[in-house]
């Protein structure tokens, strides 16, 4: 097996772990959406998002990928907000 193939296999294993963690995160996001719906809270909490991003960027060991990491985290937040919005909207239609 050549080096490129080994590296690709490593990426595949990392991707599997990321998917598992993403599913766990989205499950938690669903619970948060239900909480926010019950308590009439807005989906977007800009202060919280900024705190989460700042905290995770501070933990970043490889500062050379700070911009990419911030973009990644922003996208995860965006997807989380979209899912929360869908859940709340669906619950509103049920009422």
11-50 per-position pLDDT tens digit: 999 999 999 999 999 999 999 999 999 999 999 999 999 9
Nearest to 34 by CA among 77, 73, 95, 84: 84
In degrees and rounded to multiples of 5, residue 45 shows phi and psi of -125, 90
42-77 per-position pLDDT tens digit: 999 999 999 999 999 999 999 999 999 999 999 999
CA distance 82 to 88: 10
Task: Please tell me the pTM assigned to this model.
Answer: 0.89
Q: How far is CA 87 from the centre of its chain?
A: 16
CA distance 52 to 70: 10
CB 77 within 8 A of CB 50: no
């Amino acid at each position: 097996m050549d080096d490129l193939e080994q590296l690709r296999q490593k990426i595949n294993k990392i991707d599997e772990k990321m998917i598992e963690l993403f599913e766990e995160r989205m499950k938690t996001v669903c619970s948060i959406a239900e909480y926010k719906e019950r308590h009439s809270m807005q989906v977007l909490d800009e202060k919280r998002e900024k705190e989460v991003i700042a905290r995770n960027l501070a933990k970043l060991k490889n500062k050379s990928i700070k911009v990419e990491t911030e973009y990644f985290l922003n996208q995860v937040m965006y997807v989380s907000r979209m899912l929360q919005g869908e859940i709340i909207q669906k619950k509103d239609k049920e009422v």
